[in-house]
Structure 1
Amino acid sequence: MDHPVETTALIVAAMRAEESTRSDCLFEDPFAYDLAGDAGRAALRDYRAASGAGIPIIEVRTRSYDEALLRAQDAGIAQFVILAAGMDARAYRLPLRPQARLFELDQHAMIEAKTRGLQSAVPCCERHALAVNLADDWPAVLVAAGFDPDAPTAWLAEGLLQYLEASVVVRLFERIGRLSAQGSVLLYDIVGQALLASAVLEPVLRYMRELGAPWIFASDDPASLAAVHGFQAEVTDASVIGNAWGRWPFPAAPPHVPGVPRGYLVEAHKRL
């Protein structure tokens, strides 16, 4: 793949494949190795050589949202939407009910690449892969594919927002808000403002710039994006979860300490 964001999807798949081989793995993704392919493993080697990154944010984030999606199912939600799904294999690896409907939105090249990587794999639920650009009228494509805006939905925007202009993020949340019935759940992650200026993380940021996928959006008020659309959000610093699971390389800084590079994980509910 030549598109930089597609390369990042392969890197994430390679990370998930590596995590799945650990004796203390946070999750198992038996599809990630094939989805990453040789290109993903090579890209991950290049990423690590250039950035030296060792913070397991992808691993912690993946496990956190796995659990949140299953909680949503336990609460009665049977409709799921993954925005910019990349090489996400949750339709295949999570114990979703057969009658659940999961919609994956991404660009055509990404959908095709995932189809090749999954080959004859069978999803656990009713999966709909929709080739669409999030800058276009994706809500119309989603509804045409059978999405029910009157049914509660579990939305996932994972590893996406940092690549978008602020105006695009606002529009994305407006569309989600309009399509979300009462009882819906919205999951997303955001990097804090200090992270984009962090000297410690500059090798990572430089790598992403040179790749052509710079991180440009950040916020230290992640809850507000969903709150204006009727969601009540719970925000957690990823380092807090990582420490609880014994996988973070340093202690979590108290929330009042300024200048700390942070990554926020958000679970927001549109209450009944």
Structure 2
Amino acid sequence: MNPVAITGLIVAAIRAEESKRSDRLFEDPFATVLAGEDGRRALAKYREAAGLSVPIIEVRTRYFDEGLTRVVNAGIRQVVILAAGMDARAHRLVWPSGTRVFELDQPEVLAHKAEVLASVKPSCDRVVIPVNLEHDWTEPLRASSFDPARPTAWLVEGLLQYLEEPSVRTLFARIEALSGSGSVVFYDAVGRALLHAPQVASTLAVMKELGAPWVFATDDPGSLLSKGWAVTLDDPAELGRQWTRWPLPAVPGMPPLGHLIEARKA
């Protein structure tokens, strides 16, 4: 599997661990089988390098779960998950009748997920689109009954840090071109300070060793979209403290090391 796809197995392994906690932030009954032994081994290596672990994946997962649930319950029926990886939301979330969820990712990633979840029926109309997101994925999406005139909920989770900035800009330009009025984009972004913070140097080194180095960061993630979008930024550390799961105290004056973002098109 492509090295960047290994990160999807790591995320699944983290979600599997979270699902077993009594104070879990969410429950993913498919994460254990999606992670497999490869995911658990990669997570062990990641954890060994990281030392003190903060629950960024866990907080991020709950944030996007709640955001997607809120907007589809408010009427959006078209959802696109870019770089879907081992995301099982099409199977585990409760979707209103008539919701169509498009999952885009590399062919080998989606094939692995199809094999693992072959006996599980999704809780929505799930459309799988094998595609390299570095190429133009808009035409395959349109050809799969996607309607750009309708409002869409987009999810770009855990992807941007692995892309060069021109690819990030192109990705958001394509999202904007396909977003009808009332569309919402959920995404996350790493802050610039995090790429140079001594306390995460070992974590960044192991990600590079796994073949998935972090290369993109921004302190202004709202600027990835045009002025026609209303952007809300959330600090994952602050959310983690609200949910009583963040192990580090707040440091006055310290900027967030990343953001969780919700952007809505007027």
TM-score of the two chains, using structure 1 as the length reference? 0.95
- The CA RMSD measured in Å over matched residues stands at 1.2
Which residue number corresponds to residue 187 of structure 2?
188
Q: 1:105 to 1:88 in 2, by over 3 A?
A: same
Which residue number corresponds to residue 239 of structure 2?
241
Instruction: State the alpha-carbon separation in 1 of the partners of residues 135 and 141 from structure 2.
Output: 12
Q: Is the contact made by 1:174 and 1:229 (CA closer than 8 Å) also made in structure 2?
A: no
Q: 1:216 to 1:117 in 2, by over 3 A?
A: same
Q: Is the contact made by 1:50 and 1:204 (CA closer than 8 Å) also made in structure 2?
A: yes
Which residue number corresponds to residue 264 of structure 1?
259
Q: Is the contact made by 1:232 and 1:270 (CA closer than 8 Å) also made in structure 2?
A: yes
Q: Is the contact made by 1:177 and 1:229 (CA closer than 8 Å) also made in structure 2?
A: no
Which residue number corresponds to residue 207 of structure 1?
206
Which residue number corresponds to residue 129 of structure 2?
130
Which residue number corresponds to residue 229 of structure 2?
231
Instruction: State the alpha-carbon separation in 2 of the partners of residues 264 and 96 from structure 1.
Output: 26
How many Å apart are 1:261 and its aligned residue? 6.0
Q: 1:37 to 1:110 in 2, by over 3 A?
A: same
The SS at the match of 2:199 is: coil
Instruction: State the alpha-carbon separation in 1 of the partners of residues 136 and 192 from structure 2.
Output: 29
The SS at the match of 2:54 is: coil
How many Å apart are 1:53 and its aligned residue? 4.7
1:6 aligns with 2:1: no
Aligned pair count reads: 266
How many Å apart are 1:229 and its aligned residue? 5.7
AA aligned opposite 1:113: H
How many Å apart are 1:123 and its aligned residue? 0.4
Q: Is the contact made by 1:194 and 1:262 (CA closer than 8 Å) also made in structure 2?
A: yes
Instruction: State the alpha-carbon separation in 2 of the partners of residues 34 and 97 from structure 1.
Output: 26
1:56-97 deviations in whole A, cap 9, x for unaligned?
Answer: 000000000000001111221000000000000000000012
Instruction: State the alpha-carbon separation in 1 of the partners of residues 26 and 242 from structure 2.
Output: 15
Instruction: State the alpha-carbon separation in 2 of the partners of residues 244 and 86 from structure 1.
Output: 28
Which residue number corresponds to residue 104 of structure 1?
103
Instruction: State the alpha-carbon separation in 2 of the partners of residues 203 and 261 from structure 1.
Output: 20
Q: Which runs of 4+ in 1 moved over 4 A?
A: none
TM-score of the two chains, using structure 2 as the length reference? 0.97
Instruction: State the alpha-carbon separation in 1 of the partners of residues 190 and 251 from structure 2.
Output: 15
State the identity as a percent: 55
Which residue number corresponds to residue 31 of structure 1?
30
Q: Is the contact made by 1:156 and 1:188 (CA closer than 8 Å) also made in structure 2?
A: yes
Q: Which runs of 5+ in 2 are unaligned?
A: none
AA aligned opposite 2:260: L
The SS at the match of 2:148 is: coil
Q: 1:53 to 1:85 in 2, by over 3 A?
A: farther
The SS at the match of 2:198 is: coil
How many Å apart are 1:263 and its aligned residue? 1.6
The SS at the match of 1:204 is: helix
Which residue number corresponds to residue 177 of structure 1?
176
Q: Is the contact made by 1:11 and 1:43 (CA closer than 8 Å) also made in structure 2?
A: yes
Instruction: State the alpha-carbon separation in 2 of the partners of residues 52 and 20 from structure 1.
Output: 22
Q: After alignment, is 44-53 or 11-20 more displaced?
A: 44-53
